[in-house]
Structure 1
Amino acid sequence: MRKLALSAAALVLVFSASVGEAFAQDGRSQQRARVVEAAKAKITENFRHPDEARLRNVEVWDIGGGGQTFHVCGEINGANAYGATTDYRRFAISVSRNGSSYSGIGGILESPEDPHAATIASIIDQACSTSRFQESWRF
């Protein structure tokens, strides 16, 4: 009987830990989604059709460790003045959290037409180097 009670208690603890971990993962997923949403809003604020922009190869790093400051890198495309979809361009941006609000606080977008395109590409390469960050959330 005692073995059965101990087994049941162990099972309850394992189940509770699994449920707690699932809730924590869900919270992190929601937080990542809000960080990416804020990054997209900032990067596309000067796009003609920001709602049509699409992201890919997005990586998010919690650079403050406490879920307050994030660094986001990836690629984005959008529609040009004629409504045609443009090629994907790389970006790097920082996002901060203030209470329950997230906002982009500065970023850089690759632009092949820019006379400083090589310098911008180098900055993005440096900013998005995975060796700079301890925890990577890739989605």
Structure 2
Amino acid sequence: MVAHLTMILLIYFLAAMAVHLMHQRHTSRPESEGFEQILLIPSNQVGRIEGIIRSLCLELLYRGKSFTLTVVAEQQEAETITIIEKMMQRQGMELSYLPAVPAELEHTGQRHGDYRLIDLRRSNDEAGCR
């Protein structure tokens, strides 16, 4: 009888600790930062683009941000863009396109005003989401 009561108390204690830890994790989560616009230059990353898009979506989800994705669509990257389109459709999101990188974004680096630039034209060692 004592063993059964001890087991019940132990289960209640572990459940209370789990609820407490989940609450702590929820309250320590970063505040929602609003909205982010992302400009992606894919450059024939067929083998890697799905992982890059997934990690980008997870990062923004964790930070509590919604986002729009604009892709610089060049003819030689048709297969990469098709993969991006399918992924965004599965998530119920629209994709917008630009024929070329705007000149003001080309020279400023990773961030420019409201845009976050992800340029995958560099070599595989340097490319990625920062």
TM-score (normalised: structure 2): 0.35
More helix by share: 2
Point out the structure with max Rg over C-alpha.
Answer: 2
TM-score (normalised: structure 1): 0.34
More strand by share: 1
